[in-house]
């Protein structure tokens, strides 16, 4: 997906992907799966997601990555957070308020030194934002950035590709397995019909839409 596409979406306020409430799958499964020590969480392609505030309010330090400076500014402003801005290398800017930090820049140009220590990953809107041809690249970058393979809550969508040209794009279960194993053990936590709750996608011609949540945990060393 060309970065200009996402810049234009934010500039024109075409942000139907933004949820006005915390994702219920995050609320349901995160407390069951994540280490109670509350590790620092990475949220790729985070937009201005309220899920990050939910994670912070549960005691996590949060590192988000977002391409659009409009989304980053909106996040801090809409949540009443005063923030410090620091230019970094590799074309990135860090905007930070306490334990909430957003790296503004291209995900594919992130480097481990920019990331710092990460103990868990939450992906609700990143993998599904990638066309199928870019999903391998996305997953490969994640594995390179986090070679210790911290646990991940991954939320995907499945639908008939011929019925709609995303985003969001479909990510079949077999694709999740192909992208993230053997680095991870993959557990399907939930699969539900999500078409009724997404009338804008139904209007685009979808006949069915399945939302799935996975828990990815690093394979044990041998």
The answer to whether the peptide bond before residue 6 is cis (omega within 30 degrees of 0) is no
pLDDT tens-place string over residues 38-97: 999 999 999 999 999 999 999 999 999 999 999 999 999 999 999 999 999 788 999 999
- Does pLDDT of 182 surpass 80? yes
Known binding-site residues equal 10, 45, 66, 124
What are the C-alpha distances in Å from 110 to residues 44, 79, 84, 144, 145?
Answer: 10, 25, 20, 10, 8
Tokens of 36: 């109670």
pLDDT of residue 204: 86
Known binding-site residues for S-adenosyl-L-methionine equal 10, 45, 66, 124
Determine contact, residues 40/10, Cβ cutoff 8 Å.
no
Residue 16 in any domain: the answer is no
The answer to which of 86-90, 96-100, 131-135 has the lowest mean pLDDT is 86-90
Query: What's the whole-model pTM score?
Result: 0.94
Domain CATH for 33: 3.40.50.150
Strands (E) located in 53-195: 62-66, 84-87, 93-97, 100-104, 120-123, 152-158, 184-193
Residue 69 in any domain: the answer is yes
pLDDT of residue 2: 72
Residue 125 in any domain: the answer is yes
Give, in degrees to the nearest 5, the angle at Cα 95 between 7 and 90: 65
Residue 128 in any domain: the answer is yes
Q: Per the structure, how many domains does the chain have?
A: 1
**Beta bridge mates, 188:** 214
pLDDT of residue 1: 57
**Beta bridge mates, 43:** 64
Residue from 22, 186, 33, 29 nearest 120 by CA: 33
pLDDT of residue 90: 80
Structural domain boundaries, residue 113: 3-11+23-218
- pLDDT band at 14; cut points 50, 70, 90: low
- pLDDT band at 222; cut points 50, 70, 90: very low
Residue from 142, 51, 41 nearest 99 by CA: 41
- Does pLDDT of 13 surpass 90? no
To the nearest whole number, what is the mean pLDDT of the chain?
A: 92
The sign of the CA dihedral 24, 192, 127, 203 is negative
Cα gap 209→50, rounded to integer Å:
23
Residue 68 in any domain: the answer is yes
- Does pLDDT of 197 surpass 90? no
Residue 18 in any domain: the answer is no
Q: What is the DSSP letter of 33?
A: H
pLDDT tens-place string over residues 201-212: 888 889 999 999
């Amino acid at each position: 997906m060309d970065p200009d596409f996402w810049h234009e979406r934010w500039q024109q306020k075409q942000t139907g992907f933004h949820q006005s409430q915390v994702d219920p799958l995050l609320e349901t499964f995160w407390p069951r799966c994540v280490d109670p020590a509350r590790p620092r969480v990475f949220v790729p392609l985070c937009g201005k997601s309220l899920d990050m505030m939910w994670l912070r309010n549960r005691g996590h330090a949060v590192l988000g990555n977002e391409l659009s400076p409009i989304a980053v500014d909106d996040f801090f402003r809409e949540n009443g957070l005063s923030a410090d801005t620091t230019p970094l290398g590799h074309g990135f800017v860090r905007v930070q308020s306490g334990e909430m930090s957003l790296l503004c820049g291209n995900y594919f140009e992130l480097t481990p030194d920019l990331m710092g220590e990460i103990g868990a990953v939450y992906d609700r809107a990143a993998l599904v934002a990638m066309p199928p041809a870019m999903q391998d690249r996305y997953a490969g970058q994640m594995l390179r950035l986090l070679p210790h393979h911290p646990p991940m809550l991954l939320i995907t969508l499945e639908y008939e590709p011929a019925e709609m040209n995303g985003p969001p794009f479909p990510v079949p279960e077999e694709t999740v397995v192909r992208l993230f194993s053997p680095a991870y053990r993959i557990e399907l936590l939930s699969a539900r019909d999500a078409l009724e709750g997404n009338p804008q996608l139904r209007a685009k011609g979808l006949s069915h839409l399945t939302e799935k949540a996975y828990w990815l945990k690093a394979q044990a060393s041998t």
